Structure 1
Amino acid sequence: MMRSNLLKGGAVAALLALGLGVQAAAPVKRAVELPPPADIAYELNAQQRGFGLKGEALIAWRGGDGKYNVNVEARVPLIGKLTEYRSHGVIDNFGLAPDEFYEKRYRKDPTTTVFDRDSNTITFTDAKEPYVMKGGEQDRASVTWQLASVARAAGEAKFKPGSEWSFIVAGRRDAEPWTFKVMKREKIQTGMGELDTLLVTRQPRGEGKTEGVDIWLAPGQEWYPVKIRFRDDDREAIEQTVTKITKK
């Protein structure tokens, strides 16, 4: 029962991949400053229909020399690996420019989303129709690091409470706009002690919805995402909080 509840709706996948969105976004060329390469370990906590489950997540981020690579994994004892995401690509005038996004969920076949810049299209394993790229498109693994890279370049003077940052994000079968709003400055407790952060939230998809994503970026820790929380429409939540950052 705990397994089926945890995996219902792909909740962990939505957390690590940062969910879906529907707000409008237009291609915007932005300055980016990539965070230093690092392995980031997290404690994973899930509340699913009254059950509390714990696990761990690891994000391996590499960026430099005009390229980037990010790998994301989540594990829970007795179940094993729940999700795996891989994204790699280059850096262009819009920031991170994915070439390929790989996704593997527990008990599901893997999917691959390909960004073909020769034909200017995105193709999906789970969809027949391609998406025509306009520029600046991200995938579910790269968008967190695009956000962090934009924040580092903008600095706290511009990346401040009240500001909004929009991106087109591709998943397994389509691409759509996500808009993030910087909510407030906040001190949070982590496995690394108390950290000063900026809370960035992707709002629910529509009126009456409670689904959303909260990301805490830490300016004093290279703007790494030190905490992420996914909230679904059943008022359940999955949260990952940093325990260790190892720069590479």
Structure 2
Amino acid sequence: MAQKCEMKLLGSVGSSFVNRVKFTLKLKSIEYDYIEEDLNANKSELLLESNPVFQRVPVLFPPNEPPVTESLVIMEYLDELQPDIHPLLPSNPSERAQCRVLAYTFDTLYYPWMKEFMLTRDKERKEELGKLIIEGSMILEEAFVKFSKGKAYFGGDDIGYLDIVVGVFLGWMKLFEVVLGFNVIEEVRTPKLIEWGNRMWSHEVAGSIIPGHEIHMNFLNMLKGKLPPLPVPVSV
């Protein structure tokens, strides 16, 4: 009889924030049970009880400990839990702080621009967001040069914290290109990111974690389905 996993993860397929945690668990060789949260339905009691403030996934359930929420926090928790197996953050305190700042900036600026770009119905706003995303990708290019120090990944010779933080969104970036006709990163303005992205796609863990177009499209349609209806024009 197979031994039951003590670590559990509550998530939703298509969520890049959940995939950050899956990526980290895989690199750390930590076994876990996965529980799917149906975002199309009412929020489960498990989610409401374990994350009552934000009521969102991912939520990690370590054995005999309180739940851990928010993807960046969970990643750092797992890195401290298994420090000797594929460490994610650099050992230098200043470099660790810089990694955290870039991750926070990505989550509070870059990701919201991408999400709004996909969901907005306003043409002018979409054009404005497109410019912001391009400017942001050029900043990411500069950050990659800085953090990688001429090596293959943000983390140096191997995948690190920032590689996971940004890399799980490569599927969405590809969706932008294929479905929306918008290149988030491209050879001309972000050549280093293009090379990095190709390395990420070819990595065995990334290939098993980052979903394909169909899952992303289903997730996008779910988000669109939660938008309020457009106002009906009133005839004068």
TM-score by length of 2: 0.34
**Which of 1 and 2 has greater Rg?**
2
Higher helix share: 2
